[in-house]
Amino acid sequence: MNQEQDWNKLATETKVVAAGRPEKKPDGALNPPIALNSTFHEGGPIGYARYGNETWSALEDAISVLEGGQTLIFSSGMAAISSAFSLLPESAVIIASHNGYQGTTTMLKKMHEAKRLEVRFVDLANTDAVLAVLPGAQMLYLESPTNPAIEVVDLPKVIAAGKAAGCWVAVDNTLATPMIQNPLALGADITLHSVTKYLSGHSDLLLGSVSTNDKALYGRLEQARRYGGAIAGPFEAWLALRGLRTFALRMQRSQENAMELANRLAKDPRVSKVRYPGLTTDPYHERAKSFMKGFLRQIGEYLFLVKRDPNQERTGMMKAMHGMNRISLIVFLIGILVILIRKFL
């Protein structure tokens, strides 16, 4: 990547297209190669394929530009999350969402049961509840918006409180993405992604990433990857970098579709409740608007609705989960409809 580029002067939409490119030179390639190597000649910075890869580096450079920190990629989002938890000593106290991503919650429950960590599950959207359990904690693990409940955490206030309490603060930024928020700029120590999802965007790979501005933390995370073996495949890294080039366009369209869908569902008499921070009626609308960028048109796949059915005993969460596949189909169909309307009107 061209290290002389001042990325702070560029919009995110430009960064996703320009970052992670080889250095400019006459007849130089515009895209990095797929480096299918397990061994390298001695004397260089890589040494062995478990330690680094030219294709990894390009993707890491690109995500670093977006997140504003130094990035490591991993074999999956859960591998990235595991590396963050590996920073904690035996029986350390970690605070996490009681209603977050199922994979993370399940792993933390198992670690708690095994006494590897002491986990304090809390409603992260309830700031007072988070502050109440902070004393003695060594890591505050945030997810905002939560997946799939799209609850919005007051990141500026909660991150500041965590740092004041002496915690490492990690933020899963998968659902918001750097298009919407930058946790490192808000004071977090670590930001994580399931690159599998919005960053790559094509449902054809598994990858994760961890970004930090702390050199010591970066070193420990790199060692966790190096000796834990949760490394990315070069081809997956290349696919993710290719997908990243359309990230801004994909996010723009998905946000437009989501807002349209939310508004239509909110007016539908068959639907009793729509949970979406872009709606002015949503309980997290004002909070999200205070520090998030563009969330008002955010990701349609994670919009929640509750079907009106007085005879059904399931909770609102269960009803919402039941409708998510149909919502994804509706989002797609609305996208096609918008294209046709714009073409013929």
Q: Which whole number is the average pLDDT over 90-118?
A: 97
207 versus 342: the higher-pLDDT residue is 207
**pLDDT tens digits, 23-61:** 999 999 999 999 999 998 989 989 899 999 999 999 999
Question: What's the CA gap between 111 and 84, in Å, rounded?
Answer: 13
Look at residue 99 in the predicted model and tell me its pLDDT. Answer: 92
| pTM of the shown model | 0.85
**Crossing angle between the packed helical segments 77-85 and 215-228, to the nearest 10 degrees:** 120
* 3-class state of residue 36 by DSSP: coil
- Residue 309: CB atoms within 10 A of its CB come to 11
Q: Which residue of the set 15, 21, 61, 101 is catalytic? A: 101
pLDDT, tens digit (0-9, with 9 covering 90-100), for 126-147:
999 999 999 999 999 999 999 9
Catalytic, 50? Answer yes
Return the residue matching tokens 């490119």.
21
pLDDT of 336 > 80? The answer is no
Respond yes or no: is residue 172 known to be catalytic.
yes
Q: How far is CA 204 from the centre of its chain?
A: 17
Domains, in order of start, for the chain:
7-244 (3.40.640.10), 247-344 (3.90.1150.10)
Q: Model confidence at 298, in pLDDT bands (50, 70, 90)?
A: very low
Instruction: Tell me what the mean pLDDT of segment 156-170 comes to.
Output: 98
Least reliable range by pLDDT among 36-45, 161-170, 238-247: 36-45
Q: Which residues contact 330 (CB under 8 A, 6 or more apart)?
A: 261
- CA distances to 31, 45, 139, 282 from 53, rounded to whole Å, are 15, 10, 30, 45
Of residues 171 and 46, more confidence is placed in 171
- Annotation marks residue 101 as catalytic: yes
Q: How far apart are CA 180 and CA 67, in angstroms?
A: 11
Q: Is 35 helix (H, G, I), strand (E, B) or coil?
A: coil
pLDDT of residue 327 exceeding 50: yes
C-alpha–C-alpha distance, residues 213 and 188, integer Å: 9
Which of 116, 197, 245, 289 does the annotation list as catalytic? 197
- In this prediction, residue 309 has a pLDDT band, given cuts at 50, 70 and 90, of low
> What single-letter amino acid sits at 20?
G
Torsion angles phi and psi, residue 318, rounded to 5: -65, -40
**Residues 154, 172, 189, 282: which is the catalytic one?**
172
**What end-to-end distance do the CA atoms of the chain give, in Å?**
43
Q: Are 335 and 253 in contact (CB under 8 A)?
A: yes
How far is Cα 304 from Cα 20, in angstroms, rounded to an integer?
A: 35
- The mean pLDDT of 58-65, rounded to a whole number, is 97
